Amino acid sequence: MKAESFSVTELELAGWPVRITSYRIGETWHAKADNVSPGANIARAKADGREQAEATVIERASARLGATRRRPQG
């Protein structure tokens, strides 16, 4: 099977730039969130619909990024 209906969106969650990628394989929608600069995976989700998969991954990524401490610049 191959990925179909591929979509990429960039937004900001908890003050961090995040890229949300979603696609469909068969009847299941997959979504993942990664931080834009190094591209490290933050969260993944599967659901029956794109909106549900993206909402779940955004919720998980927001919670994880909100708990991340930032070092002071300078």
* Residues 19, 44: Cα–Cα separation, whole Å: 12
Q: Which residue segment(s) compose the domain that 21 sits in?
A: 4-66
For residue 72, tell me if it sits in a domain: no
Residue 3, pLDDT score: 80
For residue 71, tell me if it sits in a domain: no
Of 70, 14, 18, the residue nearest 42 (C-alpha):
18
Structural domains in the chain (count): 1
In percent, the amount of the chain with pLDDT more than 90 equals 68
Q: Place 74 in a pLDDT band, splitting at 50, 70 and 90.
A: low
For residue 50, tell me if it sits in a domain: yes
For residue 47, tell me if it sits in a domain: yes
* Residues 14, 41: Cα–Cα separation, whole Å: 16
For residue 73, tell me if it sits in a domain: no
What are 35-63's pLDDT values in tens digits?
887 878 999 999 999 999 999 999 999 99
Residue 41 makes CB contacts below 8 A (sequence gap 6+) with: 32, 33, 34
CATH number reported for the structural domain that contains residue 57 in this entry: 3.30.67
Given a cut of 90, whether residue 18 has pLDDT beyond it is yes
Mean pLDDT of the chain: 90
